[in-house]
Chains A and B, each alone.
Chain A
Amino acid sequence: MSKLLPWLFVAALALLPVAFPDPYLLAVLTSAGIFIIGAISLNLLLGYTGQLSLGHVAFFGLGAYTSALAALGFDIGIGFGLRITLAPQPAWLGFIAAIVVAGGFGWLLGRLAFRVRGAYFVIITICFAQVLRMVALNWIELTQGPMALISIPPFSLWLPGQGVVALYSKAQNYWLVLAVAVVAFLVVRQVVESRIGRALVALRSNESLARSVGIRVTHYLVIAAVISAGIAGAAGSLFAHYVRIVDPDVFLFIYTVTMVIMVITGGKGTLWGPVVGGLIFGLIPDLLRGHAAPEAQWVAYGVAMILFVMFLPRGIVPALASLRPRP
Chain B
Amino acid sequence: MEFFLQNVVNALQWGSFYALIALGYSMVYGVLLLFNFAHGDIFMVGAYVGFFVATGLLLLVSSLGLVSMPGWVVLVLVILVAMFITAFVGVAVERIGYRPLRQAPRASAAITGLMIGIIFETGNLALLGARRLSFPELIETTTYTIGGVTVTNKRIMIVAVSLLLMFALHQFVQRTKWGMAMRAMAYDFAVVPLMGVPLNSIAALTFGLGSALAAAAGILFGVAYPVLSPYMGIVVGWKAFVAAILGGRGSILGAALAGFLLGFIEIFVATIFPSTLRDLIAFSIILLILVFRPHGFFGEAHTSRLRL
Q: Do A and B bind each other?
A: no
Interface residues of A (CB under 8 A from B): none
